[in-house]
Structure 1
Amino acid sequence: MPPALLDMAPRPFLLTQGRTQAHSAAIAIETQVVATDHGLATCAHATFERRDIVEVCREPLSVAEIAARLGFHINVVRVLVGDLYTDGLVVAHLPEFDASRDVATLRRVIRGLRAIS
């Protein structure tokens, strides 16, 4: 992206209205997110970032994958997914185990992040 366009990109705190957490749900980076039928039907009326998240979640994706695909900061995605979840535009499936302490999961995340670059 040319430097002039980088200066025009909205700052993360503008996308989340200064919030660092969603209003309701605690959204982890491994949370699986999928768009609802309602979300897909109404996403054309959403802001750009929210619409992009709903569109990319036609198939289940983790919050980390959404951030990587859309080029958004992961904490921005966590806040926006929480808002979309509250509004019924996406469904969030939290894992049953603590993935942050699971070595195999952490290795898969590292491999996935390396593959993106």
Structure 2
Amino acid sequence: MTEPGRAGPAEQGRRDAVEQVSAVRPFLLTEGRVVDGEQALPMETQLVATPEALAQLEQPHLAFERRAIIETCRVPVSLAELAARLKLHLNVVRVLVGDLHTRQLLTVHVPRAAGGSDLDILRRVIDGLRAIHTSGGPGHD
């Protein structure tokens, strides 16, 4: 008998097998492909299933993960939220989304690149916070 809190040999063997399967699974899902850092979609990219994709949900040929992506993207969802909902690594989802986008089953809305205006926005936020602090905050006259 094993001590409480310690795994026996059989349980430890099952854990090791699960860890090996979970390490191999992303490789299988992406067919060994990875996303180039320069071409990676930002995690705030919005995704929406196309009407063609929604029509294909009735077909049995879609793999489980691709079907789950399309079903989740019935409404706009960010890449990061999609990965979290599907409990998949962000880069695995990036590869799968790229496949679906290439097949015109997903519409991808990439946010505008950060520009010089970000600094202006930060300054305005800081000025606004300072104004709240010096005025005693909301509700203080």
TM-score after normalising by structure 1: 0.71
Corresponding residue of 2:69: 53
Q: Which structure carries more relative contact order (alpha carbon 8 Å, separation 6+)?
A: 1
Corresponding residue of 2:50: 36
Q: Is the 8 A contact 1:35 1:54 kept in 2?
A: yes
Ranges of 4+ aligned residues in structure 1 off by more than 3 Å:
2-10
Asked if residue 84 in structure 1 is aligned to residue 93 in structure 2, the reply is no
SS in 1 for 2:107: strand
Corresponding residue of 1:71: 87
What residue ranges of structure 1 are gaps of 5+ in the alignment?
A: 105-117
- Aligned-partner residue type, residue 42 of structure 2: A
SS in 2 for 1:78: helix
- Aligned-partner residue type, residue 38 of structure 1: E
How far apart are 1:30 and its partner, in Å?
A: 1.3
Count of residues in Structure 1 that have an aligned counterpart in Structure 2:
99
- Aligned-partner residue type, residue 11 of structure 1: R
Find the aligned partners of 2:25 and 2:44 in 1 and give their Cα distance: 24
Radius of gyration: which is bigger? 2
Cα-to-partner distance string for 1:22-55 (whole Å, 9 max, x where unaligned): 8xx6422111000001011113421111110000
- Aligned-partner residue type, residue 93 of structure 2: V
RMSD between superposed Cα atoms in Å = 2.7
Corresponding residue of 1:62: 78
Find the aligned partners of 2:66 and 2:48 in 1 and give their Cα distance: 13
